[in-house]
Chains A and B, each alone.
Chain A
Amino acid sequence: DGGITQSPKYLFRKEGQNVTLSCEQNLNHDAMYWYRQDPGQGLRLIYYSQIVNDFQKGDIAEGYSVSREKKESFPLTVTSAQKNPTAFYLCASSTTRLAGGKTQYFGPGTRLTVL
């Protein structure tokens, strides 16, 4: 089945540690995205990538880094510079064609807790 997978589902981090969240898609989509969701809030864009080996900062990129070495994969690293990383992280993908509105499809999310 085509879809987006994220791992792990739950992640616990000690202060000062970097952690990497995995996102893989087999929808053959060119674009991939990372969002952060805080309790009772909407989603905010961290980073996005429209093509392999290229990515752009979103609205809240500070303290995060990404890579896009393969079309299928877009891992997010939460660095120790991110002051308040506890949140729910959602990965999404879409085509870059305008037809269909570039609808973004989401993975199941990773809940990160800093201890």
Chain B
Amino acid sequence: AQKITQTQPGMFVQEKEAVTLDCTYDTSDPSYGLFWYKQPSSGEMIFLIYQGSYDQQNATEGRYSLNFQKARKSANLVISASQLGDSAMYFCAMRVGGAQKLVFGQGTRLTINP
């Protein structure tokens, strides 16, 4: 069965510091995709970054990067130079094979302190 685990229910970080949000996944399928979404208090899910299982390089999108360690089955999100607006829930998700559905983790609440 496919599963996403986010072990940090909450994190508190000082503004301008880098932050790493943990995500481990479980699947036996060699083809999969990993996604990170941000959910501010308004509720909308905002797509941040995607990593395919066959991608050779770690994905980056602006201040977001994905630390993909295939052997450890981890896909941690790194946010550089955190800002107050980064305070939100962050969800890791996985799509396996040709499936359309996403499997989500429980989320991590990130709070950026001034």
- Comparing B13-21, B68-76, B77-85, B94-102, the segment that makes contact with chain A is B94-102
Given A42-B91, A101-B95, A103-B35, CB of A92 within 8 Å of CB of B45: yes
B47 A45 Cβ-Cβ under 8 A: no
Residues of A contacting B47 with CB < 8 Å? 103-106
Residue of A nearest to B55 (CB): A101
A104 B102 Cβ-Cβ under 8 A: yes
Residues of B contacting A96 with CB < 8 Å? 100
Contact with A along B39-58 (1 / 0, CB 8 A): 00011111100101000000
Which residues of A, 25-84, contact B by the 8 Å Cβ criterion? 31, 33, 40-45, 48, 50, 58
Partner of B43, one of A31, A88, A101: A88
Interface size class of B (residues with CB under 8 A): 20 to 34
Residues of A contacting B45 with CB < 8 Å? 43, 90, 92, 106
A103 B101 Cβ-Cβ under 8 A: no
A-B contact count (CB 8 A): 60
Residues of B contacting A88 with CB < 8 Å? 43
Q: Please report B residues at the A interface, Cβ cutoff 8 Å.
A: 4, 33, 35, 37, 42-47, 50, 52, 91, 93, 95, 98, 100-102, 104-107
Given A101-B33, A106-B47, A107-B44, 8 additional A-B pairs, CB 8 A: A40-B107, A44-B104, A90-B45, A101-B52, A103-B35, A103-B50, A106-B46, A108-B44
For this complex, 13 residue pairs linking A to B, each with C-beta atoms less than 8 Å apart, are: A42-B91, A44-B104, A92-B45, A98-B98, A101-B35, A102-B100, A103-B35, A104-B47, A105-B47, A106-B37, A106-B47, A109-B43, A109-B44
